[in-house]
Structure 1
Amino acid sequence: MMMMSRVLLAFFAFFSSLWLALGSPIPQSEVELNKRTTHSGRGTWYHAGHGNCGGWNTDSDLVVAMSKGFYDQNGGSNCDQYVKITSNGKTAYGLMVDSCPGCGEGDLVLLLSLSIDMSPSMFEKFASLDTGVISIKWSFKPKGWKP
């Protein structure tokens, strides 16, 4: 009798564990987790124009471009999403509107080191255009967020 109750308890424990494991949330993809990560990388500048996200921008717009690899990996789902950028003790917000073929393609393997390209007016929030390249930290703001 004691042996039978132990066997039943073992079966109950096994199936309860199995049921809990199957009912657990599915882990989010690396792209979803990457959206909430603070990235480190290089910040450069480019002349804005027709962006990969479909719109037109000028050099005076506070816009940024993500690496082409990251854009392709997430299917452009970060288009028109703001990013918070910090460099040289300053913080500013830019709208993701484009992709950049030369921005951190190799950095994508690390997932924490992604470079972005900024419009001239965005870059000048941190340094003069003559500087060319700056070290930055950046992260996505929630979809729909505006500064």
Structure 2
Amino acid sequence: MKSLFKKLLAIATGGSLAVVFGVVLVSSLSRYLLNAPIQWSEEVAKYAMIYGTMFGTVLCYMEDIHIKFGFLKQGLPTLLTRILNLVLDLITLGTGVVLAWSGYLFVMKRGGIDAPGTGLPMSVFQSAMVIGGVCLVIAALFQIPSHFKAKRYEAEV
């Protein structure tokens, strides 16, 4: 299940990047070759980038390739490292809950406004916060049980 979730995140991240690339390419060609700019292109590219950032952040967290201060854990005993990693995953879980909840409140307050370029409700774009928060919660729930498996840390001893 965890690997399927990672694959979905990778596809969503790559898909968002493809949308950004495609929209910017078509918009540039339209503007400079046909002298007919696409009005909604900047808006769609910007929001696709936000969705991609949300998905990519969660994927980096799950792959443990995010930016971190690795030197803080160097030289710590294995037990302390395990506790620190568990605490960090619990903080990530809480952050995901806060992000999803605050995104939900934001969508409820301002989601009915129409986007100027596309005419779509802003809730379509603002939901990235909710979706990103929920994905972060799911990722943390996948990560937390691994702290209770001894095999993960046997190689570190």
TM-score calculated relative to the size of structure 1: 0.28
Higher relative contact order (CA 8 A, sep 6+): 1
Which structure is higher in helix share?
2
> Whose radius of gyration is greater, 1 or 2?
1
TM-score calculated relative to the size of structure 2: 0.27
